Structure 1
Amino acid sequence: METIKYASEIVKELHRSVERIVEEEAETLADIILQSNKVFVTGAGRSGLMGRAFAMRLMHTGINAYVVGETVTPGIGKDDVLIIGTGSGETRSLIPMAQKAKGLGASVVAVTIAPESAIGSLADALVKLPGSPKDQASGGHTTIQPMASLFEQTLLVFYDAVILRIMDKTGLDSDRMYGRHANLE
């Protein structure tokens, strides 16, 4: 298969994946974000990179958003939310973060393939995303892509869709968001 044909198949997979997201779960996430004082985003590996992109866009909307582990990230507390993007829901470094956030009175949202996972069971709200080759074993969504690429891509598209929903709910547009864009680049 040629490179462009691979890209075309990836787009088809993303379309099928996104169609399987439950709208009510997505809407709940947007509402939780808008009701929170501060939003903390985390994930490991490529899922963490998607979370970083999400936190950046949240900041552009005027939301107090932070990436866990950065030197300028404040403490989490009551009226805050921790959003964890995790395919397996079992990433060992993320489980204690969810526990600590809950212990400090914050809400936890898991965006995951596995709602029944350790992180899923700790979460106050869940968004189930399809998108892993592991889904194939249970008769779920298949992919030509390696490892968890489809989950990670779906995660980024989903996060961007949540941003659009927040923009819609708050009457925000891209022109106003540019005022918060980095200007020391």
Structure 2
Amino acid sequence: MVNIDTYLKNCDIILRECNLALHGVNSKAVLQYIDMLLEADKVFFVGVGRVLLSLEAIAKRYAHLGINMFIVGQITEPAITEKDILVVGSGSGETFFPVGIARKAKNYGAKIVHIGSNPKSSLKEFTDLFIRIPVYSKINRADEVSSNQPMTSLFEQSLLLFGDVTAMMIIEEKEIELDKLWNYHANLE
């Protein structure tokens, strides 16, 4: 029977899994990622499904930090150049649309960051930086953090939290006062 104990038990499971996944990310890759974000003229994000939703939330938060962010396919998306980076969110690294966009962005000289769980994916040939969130995927590698959650929920959650963790790191790096971030928040709501 579903009750409050079930709710609390599942909270503990999800938080434990996210903690394991985020602690499994290579810290040197995280620092390189932040450097790339701060050096780029523009940062583009591409993903599909729930991964895209996580990426949109990350892009919004980074925009609050003064980073020039775009989601691939949005009507206001500008041209990508060699001064820009494309962040691809894909656990498997095999999803057709993100792989095709990465190939095209690479042809324009952009740097490619892949955040996923499969280091041997089709994206590997285009990727300048791979950030592995070592969670359960369709590939089912031995070193993956297993999950009691459905499908790839742990990847999507960990991706969103990765964005928040890196946003906090950028805030520290740029010495941004938290109260001043409201100046970048949407005000037509």
Q: TM tier, shorter chain?
A: over 0.9
Inter-partner Cα distance in structure 1 for 2:186 and 2:166: 21
- Per the alignment, residue 151 of structure 1 pairs with 155
- Per the alignment, residue 179 of structure 1 pairs with 183
- Is 2:104 aligned against 1:100? yes
Deviation of 1:121 (Å): 2.8
1:75–1:30 CA distance, 2 compared to 1 (3 A): same
1:152–1:93 CA distance, 2 compared to 1 (3 A): same
- Per the alignment, residue 12 of structure 1 pairs with 16
After TM superposition, what 4+ stretches of structure 1 lie above 4 angstroms from structure 2? 133-137
- Is 2:34 aligned against 1:30? yes
- Is 2:128 aligned against 1:130? no
SS at match of 2:130: strand
Mean CA deviation greater in 51-60 or 130-139:
130-139
Deviation of 1:138 (Å): 2.3
- Is 2:117 aligned against 1:113? yes
Mean CA deviation greater in 124-133 or 97-106:
124-133
Match of 1:3 among 7, 13, 38: 7
Superposed CA offset, 1:109-132 (max 9, x none):
000101210113311111010222
Inter-partner Cα distance in structure 2 for 1:132 and 1:28: 24
SS at match of 2:67: coil
1:47 touches 1:152 (CA, 8 Å); kept in 2?
Answer: yes
Inter-partner Cα distance in structure 1 for 2:124 and 2:170: 24
Once superposed, what is the RMSD of the aligned Cα atoms? 1.4
Gaps of 5+ in 2: none
Match of 1:39 among 40, 43, 64: 43
Q: TM-score, normalised by structure 1?
A: 0.95
Q: How many pairs are equivalent?
A: 185
2:134 touches 2:143 (CA, 8 Å); kept in 1?
Answer: no
Q: TM-score, normalised by structure 2?
A: 0.93
SS at match of 2:97: coil
Gaps of 5+ in 1: none
